[in-house]
Structure formats: structure tokens, C-alpha cells
Structure 1
Amino acid sequence: MAGIIETPLDNKTTLKVPGLHDLPINVLLSHDQFATGVNDWYGHILTAKELAILDLINTITDRPDWHRAIFDQQVTAQWREDAVASSSLINDKTWDWCLQELQDKALQFDRDGRLVVFNTSSGVCKSDAVISSDLKSQLSNFVDLLSHEAIGQKPASAVVNLVDPSLFPLVYGRTKILGGGQSCGMDENSWSSRSKDKECLLVSERPQLAKEGSSWTWDSGPYIWSSKFQWLPCEVEFTGPPGSTDVRISSYINNLHPTNREMYSAIEVVISGSIKQWNEILVRNKWRKAINLFYGNCVSWPRAPIRIRTYGVEWKAQFPEWAKKLPDKEDEGKLSAEEYEAMCAQVEAYLQEPESRDKVYWDQVRTQRIPEDWKARWGLLRTALTKYGCTFVFEHSDPGTAYSYEDWKAGRTGKSIVGPAHFDYVCSPDYELSKSFEANPWLTPYEWMYKPREEDPDDHQFYTLALQDEFRDQGLQTVVQIHSIELDPETPSFPGEEWHTEGNANERIVANAIYALDSENMSEPQISFRQRCRLGGPYLGLRPNRR
């Protein structure tokens, strides 16, 4: 596939990167690239109970001295009581799983001073030990200087951008680049005279977009790419002995003057500390060969296995035997007056039975309001089927059902509670079985019991990363952004930013590091996280039209 780049993307040879020198900006990179959050990363679809587990673990690990208290039986007994009372999704079995995982995380936290939460396909690595008090003080002084220089700015919101990558980015058709691939260094001779350099080339007016059929990110579409601009990263070189994460910024940070050498040094320490955390959460892409109707493509290789693997739920409801004999509305005229009145009485009594809060949606069995004039509008059978849909309940699958916590830690997680549907059946359902469901619509919710199952997926394969070794010679590229939230009587509150991913797809950002430097006279700030999932899919026990 000609569009895929097989050579390293660096500044040591003639510059050949997406968007420059006739190379489309949305070309697929080589198969072993890291997944980005914008266009080529999909996580597992998680059950509501696993989401509750992740939320509970994150909440507890935010508490002071949690890594010691988690081994105190008296404390954990109170935490268990609070958790069960706060969520119907937390029961004894779920708490036992959380406790084991929290105790393992506490041991890791004691060793490394960091821990990973929300760890399913990717994760969030958090730590209070990466930035020393001296470095924090140093960074605070530098930010104060930048804020002083920004006096006079009055943004529409409370956010003051002190180092903004969107200010003076690479603009197609206007920005000049070093076509030979040289790095623009930190000394004055490297950057002050570059505008007259004979090797400076003007970037093309509009970058190319790869056409469908070539090696492009076809599932994303062009809307996530910018044909006008993209951020400029700084080059980061590894220094120190092998295995060290010490780094040196070797090209200027966009919109932070290279003469601010002390500030650059402080940012280098922040990047160095972030590398160990990136090693914990970066996700590799893995090439998947074409199968059935799917093209070959890159898929994300999760860092942690799913805790509760199921492709459906076991619904619980019983359609009355007498209701199976109810005729369709067009056939009700064939009943005698006595038969019709008797059936109406049965349906009316059925309508008085308790209902569930769970919502279901199958072809003829769905949760909806039954009209008062149901006899004239819907008839007997449709009314009974709708009431049937209002009685469905299911129990959330517990962790430890298909495999134990120890199995999960070892990656033995291929076994499912409810297995995946067979691909051939989903694409071409069995004719006789389909006709049977049409004749007996009350069986539709139990279709998963009748249709053939696909084999369970393979067990999980763990892997580790060490950017400081893998990119020792090549180095990294990072984008630095510094902003301040300034509140005053005119702007007394800040509602926060809308959820977003950093940059466009052009930048191919594979990880972020966020450090909240200081907070004074404010409520506790929060960060929300999302992960992209492929909803539906042929292997799930719920078709896309089922909610």
C-alpha cells in the first residue's frame, strides 16, 4: 500500500511528513504507530457495572493516604458500606473485586509514586510525586512572569493563553520550512537568520487529501483534518545514560522565546517526568488482516483487559401462556363475543401488574406508553406484547463470573458470560429461525439463546513501553501549552471548557500530560475523560435498533 510510510519521520533526512512535499495529510502511517485519540482508536464497550468499578476506584484513589487505608479492615468496611449505599451497581461481589484491585494499585503506588486509573483500553496515569516542590515554585515564578507580560489581555472568557500553540502555527501557503530536514536549534544563529536561508521553502497552498481506495483513514472523513494550519511541535532529545528519561529541548517551543532558557529547563523536567507516565498509557496499533467483509486495518491493542466480558444480557420476563393465544387485531372479528370479552379481561388484569424501569426495544416488544383506547387502536396482542416489554428486567453481570480477578491480572480473559453472535448468522440469519420469531414475537428477546455463537476471543496480551529506549536516537516531538484562568469581580466564575481532544488529526497527538500548577480561592477543579468506542457491531447480543 503505497500511501503507508515505512521510513521514520524525523528531521535527519529530507523532510517528508504528512501535509508536506505532496504527501497527503491523512495518509496512514506505518502499522506499528501509536494510536491517536482522534481517528484510529476504539476502546471496548464497557458494561455499566465496569464503569461503576472504574469510577469507584478513581474516587477512592483521590482520598488522602488511600494507599495505606486500603489495608485497614475498619476503614475498608466503611468504604464498602458507603459504596453500596451510593450505587445500586456496587454489590458484595463488585466490592471484593474493587478491593483486590485497589490493594494491588496501592503496592504499585508505593513503588512508583504513580498509578493508572480508568485502565481498560487505555488509561489515565496520575501522580502527586512527579513535580517536586522546588520545581513547582520555579514554574509558578515563570508563569507569573508570563502573566505579567500578558497584562492588558482581556479574553472573552477567564482563560489567558500564555503559551498558545494556535498562535503563529504552520499556515499552508504562508509559512516557510527547512526543506532539507535540518532542525532549527536553540542558539540565536539557528533561528534569527533562517528567514533568509536558501533552503527555506514555502509550504504548499493547500495540502492533499488521500482519496478513498488508497491508504487513508477512511472511517474518519476529512472533517477532522485542517487544510489551513497545524501546530508546530518542539524537538525533544534524550540525554543521560541509557534508560534515563532525562531530555533536552533542542528546538524552540512555539511562542516561548528561546532566550527563556531557565523556563525551558523547567519544562524539560516536566516532560521527563511525563515520559514514565506515557509509558503506562500509550496504546499501540496492531494491523488486522482482511476478514469476511472487512478491509485490513489498524486496530488498537488495549493496555489492560476488560473486566466483564459479555456480548449481551439475559433478560428476565415471562409472557403469559394465555397471551400466546391472542389473535392479531385483524383476526379479532373471528372471535365470539364471549371469547373476546374474556380475553379483554385477561389483558386488563395483565396491565395492572408491576412494571420495570428498564427500557427495551425489540421489533414488537418495546417499552412505550399504552393508550387508554388500546382495544380500538392496538388490539389484544399488541397491547399484551407492549405490556410484556414493560416488565423486562436484567441483572448486571458481575466481575468474576466468566473469569476470576487472578485470571484478569494474567490476561486469561477470553471467556464471555454471554458469547458473541456468530458473524455468518448476523449477516444471513437462518430463514426458519427468523420465521419462527415472526410467528412467536414474544421469543424475540431470547433470540440470543437460539442463534449460534462465535468463538470467544483470544486471551489478552500485555505489553510494556519505554519511550526512552525506543526513541533514544530519534527523540520525541511535543506541543507545549500554558494557560491561566483569571477570575475577578467582572468574571467571578469559570464553567470550564467543553470536552475536546487536543489539536486536529494533523498533529497526530498520541498522549497528553496535564499539570495544574496552582489553585487559589477556587472550588476544586475537575477533569472529565472519554474514550471512543465502536457501538453496535455484529457480535453483540443487541442489534443497533435495540436500546
Structure 2
Amino acid sequence: MTDPCLCNDGHGPLKVPGFSDVPIDLELCPQNRFTHGATEWTQWPNLTARELAMLALINDLTEEHGWHEKVFNDNLMVDWRMQALSRPLVSPKAWDWCLAELRDKALYFEQTGNIVVFNTGAGIIKSDAVAERIQTELRDATELLEADEKVSRQHTVLDLVDPSLFPLVYGRTRVLMDSGRVTLDSTINSCGRGEIVPEFPPGYFRRQRPVRRNPPWPEEVIPTPHAMDRDDERWSARYQWLPCEVDFVNDSGTDVRITSYVNNLHPIRYRALYGTIAKLVSQSIEPWNQILIKQNRGRTPMRIRTYGLEPDNERPEWATHEKLRELESNRSNTAFKEAVDKIKEYLALPERLEEKEGKQISPTWETEDGGLWTALYRKWTRLRTWQHPEPGTAFGFNDWKAGRAEKAIIDMRIVYPDSNTCHNFYKVALQDSFRKKGLQVVVKISSIELTPEDSAYDGTDWHLDGMLNDHIVASALHVFDIKNVTEARLSFRQQTRMEQGEFHYEGWKLESLMDVFAIPGDSEDIDGSVTCGCPASLQDLGSVVAPQGRLLAWPNVLHHRMEPMQLLDPTVSGHCKFISLHLVDPHYRICSTRNVPPQRHDWWVEEAIEATGAAKHGLPAELIHQIDAETENWPMGIEEAERVRLEREHEQNTVERYIFKEGAHRYIFGTI
């Protein structure tokens, strides 16, 4: 449940991070909140390349029309099997596993219209259950939004509703800090109320903040040590997105209503759109329930668990180090000469061209001390190949479904306490746990607009949603209107962890390890004996297509990016319109639009002019324009808001550089 010390209901002082002596970087203990992606979530260890191939196959096959019925047609599955086996790393065992899993997923899909893909640890929901009526209402509303000349445009992207415009700005924004609330009906009339929120001093996160003996929050929510003792790059002391408040409307179910304004969406002019967005939030709750992560524990166990490499070809059984050393003690006997002849035959076996650059075999190996073993071993390392591990080796599909997936094909070199325990599945039900308090959701509506003159969209960089004090734990994206552009597609990756001491790879080239565990780059990149600039351990999962009508949902532990798109017909304009919903961790309460009167000057001046009856009484347009111009920065003008948006975007980029680079785990391997 939401901790009672955090409250923004308006019936008393605002007690949320950044207000009433509650630290801005307050972080609940992991067991009292959902897991975030700001250097917290890690997939341990890396997924194998074969498991990634299986996940990609399942994702692709669930794009087939009627897939949930077709997977039970044995005759059709013969054809699907042949096609699947032509894909890299999809073996017969991998296909058998994927088919069993697809049939399981089909049952859930028939019940809900949802399917979880790329679900090892974290996962992504694909849902085609959004009603056509919701899509129509969104299309109609965005036509009105596009007519508003004050929407923000960034090259080919039109941000129709942008949470980074007019956010909470410390030292600038007026907030109802003592009591009071902004309702939908009182939104515009509340402009100018409240006090300006104090600005945090420079170096706020660098200074030591002692733990108070009697803090105003329970012991379990005292700021974590890393937030108290060092300059934490994951937080912002300047900005915070302002979510709207979302209340559940009945004693059960997921129906909701929005009770405070969506930042930058006029609550009167677009009141009908508020109802549509509420329906989409309601539709997103069950997908969020399926993918939210607790205590850094993934929702689904790995299908292939291993901590080493298996050779395809073993060393000759007759050649052990002990035997060859013993034969060298008497080089004149027949056994020694026979061993030399066998080794010569072995050394004559053909090698791959690239392996000939390995360690060279001494031309005098026959006479050197230990020469027999050294020559044979070096040849074996140049001939040796490795296996990609198979599913169903350490545990079967039914064991995996039951969580009995702790066994590894090759055990960890160092066994940690509780590292070999069964997977504990758990459920999340936002509608039950937070029915009284409700949810907080950040809304964004965007349109990618392409023309014959500007016919390509470059996509986005890898990112997480929000900074840590925005407390975003899950997102949903719904594409409701696509015309004359290539498909919308989102790619996902995640932070992983692979420790050198946990893996068996003695004598193997690092390329082998990288191939089996899908580590990108060159072997020198991760060789700690060669470089000290080892790359962050980030593993690409794959991409998910978002056709018109689809809703995607994912936990905000996954880095994601929208892929490029372009016009299908380069002579005609096209667009892709979508709405994004970002869920604030409901274990917290943060400052929301319930607590912040709207900051938009255009909303206020429109209401002020109407209240004076200027238009009704025939006030000259020049005088109305003068009133607008004289008050352009109150509460906040669009030019200042655009500057704030750019500054916040720069700060978010800085935060992400830290999370993806300096704060990330790294691949560091070397010669063992």
C-alpha cells in the first residue's frame, strides 16, 4: 500500500518528495515499491543467444493473423516448424519449446487480447484489445489539438500534449503547499494561487544530509545511503513532470476517471478527451499488472540457464596431461613413439583460417620437456568449437512453467546464497492495492508528421521514461492513427550482469563467450587485461511492431527507442499518431496537477478576457492583444516554457548518459 506519510490529497500540508521536509530523493526500500531502471534492474546473467532467438521467433509468430488458433493445427505446425528451423539458432528442441509456449500464450490471449513477449525477467505486453471507438475518439480529438498553434513542434514530431512543457519548476512554480486542491472544474480559476516552491541550492545532492533522530517518515522510507552520501546523477533538483490524478470509480474492476487536469490539455475545451484517456488508462491497468516488477525479481525465469561453454569436440581420450608427461620420461620406448605418431596425425588436421593465428606450435615439440601436451593442447584449442546450449537440458518446459528453473546446464563457478532457488511467481493488482488512493499518470500525445519535403523520421535514442524523481515505473503506448508511413516499431534492451568469476571459460577465446551470450562488439572490448574502458553490459532484446490499434506496455526498467520510419508513397504526406501513458509508482505520492494551479498564460488570459466580457462589450482587438502582451509571462509564457522544456531535456539526457554508462554494470573478462 502507499505509505501514509506521503500525501497530496489537499486536506492538509503537501507531504511528498521535495515538500514538508520530505527529501526530494526519498527512495522507499525495494520491498515497499516497484523496481525502476535507474541503475537498479539487472537481468542476471545475460540471456543466451539461443534464448533471444526463441523470444524473437515467438514475437514474430504472434504477429500472424489468427496465430492463437493456428498453433493448435498440427498440420500447419509442420510448415511453421520448417520455416522456424531455417532461422539462426532455432533448433528442433528450441522449436518444440516455442510451440509449447505459444499454445500456453494462446489461452491467455483468448481471454484477454494480450500477450507477453520477450518475457525473461522483464516483458512487454502486446494488446490488440483497444476498442475502435477509443481510437476514433482519439483521432477526432487530435484534429482539434493540431489546430492549436501553441503546440510544440520538434522537426517532424508534433507534441500535441507534452508533459515537459510547464512542468514543476523548483523556484518558479506556484504550488498549494498548505492545503487545497485543483479540480477539473476549478482548474482555470485557480491560476495564480499557491506559493512559489523553494529552489534547491546548487550542489544539493553533493552535500551530506544527516539522518534526523526523529524524521517525519517511518524508518522503512528513510533515504537510501547512496542518496544521502554522494552526488546522485539520477535525480533532478530542478524539474518534475506533473501527473494527473486517476481515481477508481467502483468497488471493483479497473474503470477509472481523471480528477485533476492533464498538464497542457485544456480541461474544459477537451473534456470529452479526458473521458477517452481514462478509458485507455483503464485498458492499461491489466497489462501493467502483468509486467510491473517487484524487488528486482523478474516475472518469468530464464529458459536456458548456464554459466559456461560446452565444447563440440573433446580432447582425444588417449591424450591426458599425466599420460603424456609419463611417456616423456622414457622417450626410447614404443609407447612414446606411438604417441608422437598420433599427435602428428592430430596436428595435421585442417583448421579454419582464422584459427591459424592462434598460439604457434613449436617445431621442436617432440624433444621439449612437456612438448607433447603443449603441442596437442594448442592444436585442440585451434580446432575446438562450442555448442549453443539447448532448452530442456537442465529443466523441462513444465518445470519452467512451475518456476522450477534454478538448475543450470553448467553451474556457476562461485555459488551465492539463495542463487539456486526456485522462481517465485507473484501477482500485481493495481486496482486492489491502490483503489482508495488511486493512481497518478503522466500523459503525452504525439504525432510524427512526414511530408514529401521531409519524408523520414530518424527515431529516438535509447531512453527511460522520466528522471528518478518522476518515479515512472511502467509505460503504455497506443498507436491510434497511421497513414502512409512505414510501420511503427519500438526496440528494447536491458541492463545485464555477467561477472568473470561466475563463468567457466578457461582456455576459450572470448569470442566464444560473446557468441553464446550475445555480447556485442569485439573481444578486446571486454578483455580487462587489454582495456580498462570495458563497455556497459547492455543486451538488446529485440523490437515490437505497433500497428494502428495496438497498445504496448512495458516496465520502466527496459531501455527503449522508437525506430525510424518514412513515407510509403514519397509524393504524399503521412503521419503516425500515438498516446503515451506513464505510470507513477503508486507506492509513492508526488506533487501532481491536483496541487499545482495551471501555469499556462494562454489558458489564464483567455479566461480573464472572457470574464471581463471584453468581446461581448466590443472591446477593440488591439486592446485585447495589449492585455495579452502586458501579461505574457504570468503565470508562465510559452517562450519561457519552451526554454524550460529544452533545459529539462538536456538534464534528462545527462541523467541517461550516467545510467547507461557511468552507473551501469560492465562486461569485464580476461584470461583465467
TM-score range (shorter-chain normalised) is 0.7 to 0.9
For 2:39, the equivalent position in structure 1 comes to: 39
Q: What does residue 449 of structure 1 align with?
A: none
Measured after TM superposition, the shift of residue 265 of structure 1 is: 0.8
1:540 to 503, 508, 533: 503
Alignment-mate amino acid for residue 395 of structure 1:
Q
Looking at structure 2, the residues matched to 476 and 103 of structure 1 have their Cα atoms a distance apart, in angstroms, of 34
AA of the residue aligned to 1:173: G
Aligned residue identity for 2:425: F
Structure 1 position 232 matched with structure 2 position 242: yes
Aligned to 1:480: 443
Are 1:465 and 2:450 matched, yes or no?
Answer: no
Distance 2:119 2:51 in 1: 11
Match of 2:60 in 1: 59
Asked if 1:500 is matched to 2:497, the reply is no
Distance 1:7 1:457 in 2: 37
1-side partners of 2:374 and 2:181: how far apart?
72
> Counterparts of 1:538 and 1:19 in 2: how far apart (Å)?
42
Q: Counterpart in 1 of 2:393?
A: 401
Equivalent in the alignment of 1:245: 254
Going from structure 1 to structure 2, the CA distance change for 1:178 and 1:390 (only over 3 Å counts) comes to farther
Q: In 2, Cα distance between the equivalents of 1:243 and 1:152?
A: 38
Assess if the C-alpha contact under 8 Å between 1:26 and 1:216 holds in 2.
no
Query: Which residue is 2:51 aligned to?
Result: 50
Give yes or no for contact 1:356–1:392 (8 Å, CA) kept in 2.
no
Structure 1 residues 162 and 66, CA gap change in structure 2 (3 angstroms):
same
Name which of 495, 505, 527 aligns with 2:490: 527
Deviation of the 1:73 alpha carbon: 1.4
Which residue identity lines up with residue 8 of structure 2 in the other structure? N
Contact 1:225 1:506 in 2 (8 A): yes
Quote the residue 1:124 is aligned against.
124
Percent identical pairs in the alignment equals 38
- The letter of the residue matching 1:38 is A
1:308 maps to 304
Q: Which residue of 2 aligns with 1:100?
A: 100
C-alpha change, 1:170 and 1:347, in structure 2 (3 Å) is farther
| 1:184 corresponds to 2:176 | no
SS of equivalent to 1:301: coil
1:204-261 Cα shifts (integer Å, max 9, x gaps): 455842759961456997233223212111111111x322111111111111111111
Distance 2:94 2:57 in 1: 10
Alignment RMSD (CA, Å) = 3.6
**Does the CA-based 8 Å contact 1:26-1:217 persist in structure 2?**
no
* Shift in alpha-carbon separation, 1:392–1:177, aligned structure 2, 3 A: farther
Residue 233 of structure 1 aligns with an amino acid whose one-letter code is P
Partner of 1:280: 290
Give, in angstroms, the shift of residue 43 of structure 1: 2.2
- Using a 3 Å threshold, how does the CA distance of structure 1 residues 411 and 165 change in structure 2: closer, same or farther? same
Find the residue that maps to 1:279 and give its secondary structure.
helix
The more displaced of 57-66 and 38-47 is 38-47
TM-superposed CA distance for 1:386, in Å, is 6.0
Partner of 2:83: 82
The CA deviation at 1:517 is: 1.1
Q: Residue 96 of structure 1: SS of its match in structure 2?
A: helix
> Would the alpha carbon gap of residues 217 and 187 (structure 1) be closer, same or farther in structure 2, given more than 3 Å must change?
farther
1:423-471 C-alpha deviation (Å, 9 max, x unpaired):
59xxxxxxxxxxxxxxxxxxxxxxxxxxxxx876111111111101100
Distance of 1:109 and 1:322 partners within structure 2: 56
SS of equivalent residue, structure 2 residue 447 = strand
> Does the CA-based 8 Å contact 1:311-1:539 persist in structure 2?
yes
Q: 1:140 is matched with which residue?
A: 139
Residue aligned with 1:499, SS: coil
Q: Give the AA of the match of 2:453.
A: E
Partner amino acid for 2:182?
C
Aligned to 2:383: 391
Check whether the contact 2:450–2:457 (CA below 8 A) recurs between aligned residues: yes
1:28 alignment partner in structure 2: 27
Question: 2: distance between equivalents of 1:277 and 1:46?
Answer: 24
Question: Does structure 2 retain, via aligned residues, the 8 Å contact 1:356–1:393?
Answer: no
Amino acid at match of 1:85: S
Tell whether 2:405 aligns with 1:419: no
**Distance apart, 1:38 and its partner CA:** 2.5
Stretch moving more, 53-62 or 311-320: 311-320
Residues 491, 537 of structure 1: alpha-carbon distance in 2 compared, 3 angstrom cutoff? same
Q: Deviations over 1:468-487 (max 9, x none)?
A: 11001111111101110000
Instruction: Report the Cα offset of residue 6 of structure 1.
Output: 5.4
Task: Output the amino acid matched with 1:369.
Answer: E
Corresponding residue for residue 353 of structure 1: 350
Q: 1:189-208 CA distances to partner (integer Å, 9 max, x unpaired)?
A: x55335234x6644545584
Relative to structure 1, the CA distance from residue 545 to residue 495 in structure 2 (aligned partners, 3 Å threshold; closer, same or farther) is same
Change beyond 3 A, Cα 1:347–1:228: farther
- 1:325-363 CA distances to partner (integer Å, 9 max, x unpaired)? 9xxxxxxxxxxxxxxxx99x9799838632498xxxxxx
Q: Report if aligned partners of 1:280, 1:465 keep a CA contact under 8 Å in 2.
A: yes
Cα distance between partner residues in 2 of 1:183 and 1:205? 28
Contact 2:43-2:495 within 8 A present in 1 as well: yes
What does residue 434 of structure 1 align with? none
Question: Which residue of the other structure, out of 257, 263, 274, is the alignment partner of 1:254?
Answer: 263
Question: Which letter maps to 2:254?
Answer: T
Question: Counterpart of 1:510 in 2: which secondary structure?
Answer: strand
With over 3 angstroms needed to count, the CA separation of the structure-2 counterparts of 1:265 and 1:383, relative to structure 1, is: farther
Contact 2:199 2:238 in 1 (8 A): no
Query: In 2, distance between residues paired with 1:497 and 1:250?
Result: 32
Aligned to 2:480: 517
Q: Structure 2: which amino acid aligns with 1:9? A: L
- State the alpha-carbon separation in 1 of the partners of residues 137 and 55 from structure 2: 35
Mapped partners of 1:277, 1:103: distance in 2: 20
1:195 — aligned with what? Answer: 192
- Is the CA contact 1:323–1:384 (under 8 Å) kept in the aligned structure 2? no
Q: Cα gap change, 1:168/1:455 in structure 2, threshold over 3 Å: closer, same or farther?
A: closer
User: CA–CA distance in 2 between the matches of 1:249 and 1:456?
Assistant: 44
Q: Residue 373 of structure 1: CA displacement?
A: 12
Equivalent AA in structure 1 for residue 400 of structure 2? W
Question: Cα gap change, 1:102/1:212 in structure 2, threshold over 3 Å: closer, same or farther?
Answer: farther
For residues 410 and 490 of structure 1, do their structure 2 counterparts lie closer, same or farther at Cα, with a shift above 3 Å needed?
same
Summarize the Cα distance change of 1:91–1:524 in structure 2 as closer, same or farther, 3 Å threshold. same
Q: Is the 8 A contact 1:176 1:203 kept in 2?
A: no
Query: What is the one-letter code of the residue matched to 2:434?
Result: F
Shift of 1:392: 3.0
Q: What is the alpha-carbon distance in structure 1 between the residues aligned to residue 73 and residue 248 of structure 2?
A: 42
Pairs aligned (count): 471
Contact 1:123–1:281 at 8 Å: present in 2 too?
Answer: yes
Q: Given residue 47 of structure 1, which amino acid in structure 2 is its aligned partner?
A: T
- Whether the 8 Å CA contact 2:152–2:160 is kept in 1: the answer is no
State how far apart, in whole Å, the 1-side matches of 2:357 and 2:57 are: 35
Q: TM-score, normalised by structure 1?
A: 0.76
CA–CA separation in structure 2 for the residues paired with 1:532 and 1:7: 33
Distance 1:179 1:415 in 2: 54
**8 A contact 1:308–1:397 mirrored in 2:** yes
**Which has more strand, going by share of residues?**
2
Q: Which moved more, 1:531-540 or 1:43-52?
A: 531-540
Q: 1:373 to 1:41 in 2, by over 3 A?
A: closer
**How far 1:384 sits from its partner (Å)?**
7.4
Distance in 2 (CA, whole Å) between partners of 1:257 and 1:59 is: 40
Distance 1:220 1:501 in 2: 22
Q: Aligned ranges for residues 321-360 of structure 1 at < 5 Å? A: 350=347, 353-355=350-352
- The amino acid that maps onto 1:119 is N
- The residue type equivalent to 1:81 in the other structure is M
